[in-house]
Amino acid sequence: MKFGIVVFPGSNCDHDVYHAVSHVSGETAVFLWHKDHDLEGVDAVILPGGFSYGDYLRAGAIARFSPLMNEVVDFAGQGGLVLGICNGFQVLTEVGLLPGALIPNTTMKFECKTVTLRVESTETPYTAAYTGGQVIRMPIAHGEGRYYAEEKTLDLLEEENRVIFRYVNAAGKPTAAANPNGSLRNIAGICNAERNVLGLMPHPERAVETILGLTDGLGVFQSMIQERMTV
């Protein structure tokens, strides 16, 4: 499987994603420069974490106008797999591939820690390798990760089973204390109606090896690889 990792000025998790899909998962990966207009025939696009354009104006607001984003939007429209992690999630909401927005944490702090998540749906190409309701741990590192959308959008997401990851406590309950950034309904990750575009604030690529302390993020990449093999 060939992964394309989009590099914006200010991306800083691009090499971590490369490591996760290439060295750890044994697949092919290429970096895609944001100014290009070529997805190089990749099977999946990953928008990595970081601070594209220094988070100027709003996180992801300027990156979403990068030339390559036209190709990414077309690719998503054709059913291609597009995964946005952290800043990548922010870019996906700004470009309109996912609803809602990510706004400054209610804590007013940059939150950098391990969080506990519940896998809310395994019916996506990103979560099929997990079990429904599985409680997993991944790191977060963001200042603007509070998921916000209007009530009716939130209701629609729940109705269509599009909330994919939620912040929970160790017992798997979505409490206020388990919510690191004030996200509405403890939302950590969502997908689009067609389920081929997923955005999440936690970093699966930083949880793929025992030496990193966590391996629960591997399931995201394994799910994508499985999906590709069954197509």
Partner 1 sequence: MIKALITVHYKQGILDPQGKAVQHALKSLSVDGVSEARVGKHIVLTFPDLPRKEADAQTRKACEKILSNPVIEDFEYELVEAES
How many binding residues for partner 1 (CB under 8 A)?
20
Which residues, 6+ apart, have CB-to-CB distance to 228 below 8 Å?
A: 1, 43, 44, 81
Nearer to partner 1, 46 or 62 (CB): 62
* 10 is a site residue for partner 1 (CB under 8 A): no
Q: CA 150 to CA 184: how far, in whole Å?
A: 10
Buried b (16+ CB within 10 A) or exposed e, 43-74: bbbbbbbbbbbebeebbbbbbbebebbebbbe
Region of 37-45, 56-64, 76-84, 190-198 interacting with partner 1 (CB under 8 A): 56-64
Query: Is there binding between residue 161 and partner 1 (CB under 8 A)?
Result: no
The SS3 assignment for 131 reads coil
205 flagged as catalytic? yes
x/- track of binding to partner 1 for residues 172-191 (CB under 8 A): ----------x---------
**Does 156 sit near partner 1 (CB under 8 A)?**
no
Largest interatomic CA distance in the chain: 46
Contact 148, 100 (CB under 8 A): yes
Tally of helices (H runs) and strands (E runs) in the chain:
5, 11
Helix (H, G, I), strand (E, B) or coil at 150: coil
Tell me the CA distances in angstroms from 40 to 6, 34, 44, 69, 169, one per residue in order.
11, 13, 11, 14, 41
Minimum distance, C-beta of residue 139 to partner 1, in the bound complex (Å):
22
Candidates 26-34, 38-46, 144-152, 217-225; binding stretch for partner 1 (CB under 8 A): 144-152
Which member of 86, 94, 142, 191 is catalytic? 86
Q: Binding to partner 1 (CB under 8 A): which residues in 83-122?
A: 93-94, 99-101, 103-108
Whether 203 is catalytic is yes
How far apart CA 97 and CA 11 sit, in angstroms, is 19
Q: Is 19 a catalytic residue?
A: no
Nearest approach, Cβ of residue 10 and partner 1 (Å): 17
Nearer to partner 1, 90 or 127 (CB): 90
Binding site for partner 1 (CB under 8 A): 57-58, 61-62, 65, 93-94, 99-101, 103-108, 148-150, 182
